[in-house]
Amino acid sequence: MSTLIAVTYPNEQRAQEVLAELRKLESQYLIDLEDAVYVTKDANGKPKLHQAVDLTQAGAVNGAFWGLLIGLLITLPFPFMAPLAWMGIAAASAGVGALSGALAGRAADLGIDDAFMENLTVNMTPGSSTLFILARSVTLDKVEPDLAKFGGKVLYTNLDKQAEENLRAQLAESAAADNPAP
C-alpha cells in the first residue's frame, strides 16, 4: 500500500525545498516516490498546483518516439520514394505522435487526485505551501529526521497512529527549535 502524507508550511518556498530533499533521499533508495505535488497560495489567495512530473512533456516525448517509429515502418516498403518525401512522412508522423502524446499526458491524472488536494488546501493561508507525498515505499525512521528539519504541520496522512504521532512530534520539535520561546 502506498503512503500518502500532506504537510503544510508557512511560506511558499519551503515545500519546494522539501521536495528537493526527497529527491536526494530517493537517489539513496530511502523513499520511492510515486507522485509528489506541492500547492502554493500567493499573497492574493490564488492556489497553484506544482506537479513534480510534467505529464504533458513526457507524453509528447513518448508520442514523438512512437510516431516516428510508425512513420518509418509505414515508409519502409517504399524504398523508391524520394528521400525527402520519406523523411517528411516520418517527421509528420512524429509530430502527430508528439501532439497526441502531449494531449494524452495533459489529460492523464496519475497519482494524487487533484480534487482531494484542492479540498485539503482550501483553507491555506496566503503565502503558504503544502506538499503532498505519495510513496510506493518509504523507510520512515531514515526519512522522518530529514523531513522534520524543515518543520511544518501534518495536514493528512494514511500512516498508522503511532507512525503519524512520531511524525507530528518530530515536526513540532523542529518548529519549536526554529521558534524558541522568548
Q: What pLDDT, in 10s, does the model give residues 96-125?
A: 665 565 555 555 555 678 788 888 888 888
Is the pTM value of this prediction over 0.75? no
107, 131, 151 — which closes off a domain? 107
Higher pLDDT, 61 or 166: 166
118/103 same-domain check: no
Neighbour-count burial of 46, counting CB atoms closer than 10 A to its CB (0-12 exposed, 13-18 middle, 19+ buried)? exposed
* pLDDT tens figures, 8-17: 999 889 999 9
* pLDDT tens figures, 14-70: 999 999 999 999 999 999 988 888 999 888 888 888 877 555 555 555 666 656 666
CATH, residue 121: 3.40.1520
Cell of 53: 512530473
Q: How many domains does the chain contain in total?
A: 2
49/69 same-domain check: no
Higher pLDDT, 91 or 147: 147
By the 8 A CB rule, do 118 and 71 touch? no
What residue numbers bound the domain in which 91 lies?
Answer: 55-107
77/143 same-domain check: no
Contacts of 139 (CB under 8 A, 6+ apart): 30, 31
By the 8 A CB rule, do 13 and 20 touch? no
